Amino acid sequence: MIHISKTQTAESNETTARLLHRAVIANSEQLTDEFMLVNFKSDCNNHPLLPGQELLLYTDNNSKRTYTCCSVDKVQRQAAVLLYGDVNNCAVNTTTGKALQFSIEKEKLAYDALATHHFFFGDETSIGLFNAFKEIALQNDHEYFGVLELKAHNEQVLNRLKLLVDSVPPSASKPGQYSIQWMEEMHPHCWMAWKKASFYLAGKARLIQSFGEYLLKRGVSPLQIQMAVLGG
């Protein structure tokens, strides 16, 4: 059995006291009609932001949205989140100079610092998370690889972020079908190098469940696999 963690909602944490931080939008860049990269400066001097942390942003209409800190620039003292959805009608005001508040939440998945090889699998909802893990892998001189199921026009997001993973088209009728086919076509020597990796599966429930079951059939231990449902 593989444990799947559901995305923690703001409502389930209403009773938890949060330390709120202030931030100011430094700049934003629309990557596609579904993705926007937002850089901001924060006051987290005593609690420095790290790639992979979950940030609960408080929006103008008093709603809350959770995003992953996908990168940190220590020189510029900036951090970034990747917004996914209808960015033209985004709940977060991304105007340069706009002030906002956020809290640091528990991560959905934990980067395995003891592993040297890290394999990412997911869809559009997990690009921000895996970009964060890429940053950690590079800092630790670790290897990373993976495959994401993406719509064709969103593949350019990987190029912009320099996230070196492969992509395949999604299958509405059989989630994970093309990713499993991609795995089956992997050279045996390549698979031997990655079979002992830490596997991170993040995305829609049916998609990651299908891929997780496939990994188990390929002999990957459940202890090597972490899963988190994102985006419903």
pLDDT, tens digit, 9 for 90 and up, residues 196-215: 999 999 999 999 999 999 99
For residue 215, is it within any domain?
yes
Give me the pLDDT at residue 75, please.
80
E strand residue ranges, 33-186 = 35-42, 54-58, 64-73, 78-84, 99-105, 117-123, 143-149, 166-168
pLDDT surpassing 60 at residue 13: no
pLDDT band at 2, cuts 50/70/90? low
- What is the radius of gyration, based on Cα positions, of the chain? 18
For residue 112, is it within any domain?
no
- CA-wise closest residue to 122 among 202, 59, 37, 191: 202
Of 26 and 12, more confident: 26
Q: What burial class does residue 79 get, using C-beta atoms within 10 Å of its C-beta: 0-12 exposed, 13-18 middle, 19+ buried?
A: buried
What tens digit of pLDDT does each residue of 154-197 get?
Answer: 999 999 999 999 999 999 899 999 999 999 999 999 999 899 99
For residue 140, is it within any domain?
yes
- CA-wise closest residue to 37 among 77, 75, 78: 78
Domain termination site, one of 71, 105, 139? 105
CATH number of the domain that 130 lies in?
A: 3.40.50.80
What tens digit of pLDDT does each residue of 29-71 get?
Answer: 999 999 999 999 987 766 778 999 999 998 776 778 889 999 9
Same-domain status, 77 and 161: no
Measured between alpha carbons, how far is 67 from 131 in angstroms, rounded to an integer?
Answer: 13
Same-domain status, 100 and 132: no
Same-domain status, 39 and 95: yes
Same-domain status, 69 and 172: no
Give me the pLDDT at residue 45, please.
65
Q: Are 53 and 71 in contact (CB under 8 A)?
A: no
pLDDT band at 225, cuts 50/70/90? very high
- Whole-number mean pLDDT of the chain? 89
For residue 110, is it within any domain?
no
Strand partners, 147: 121, 166
Show the domain range for 51.
4-105
CATH number of the domain that 8 lies in?
A: 2.40.30.10
Number of structural domains (the chain) is 2
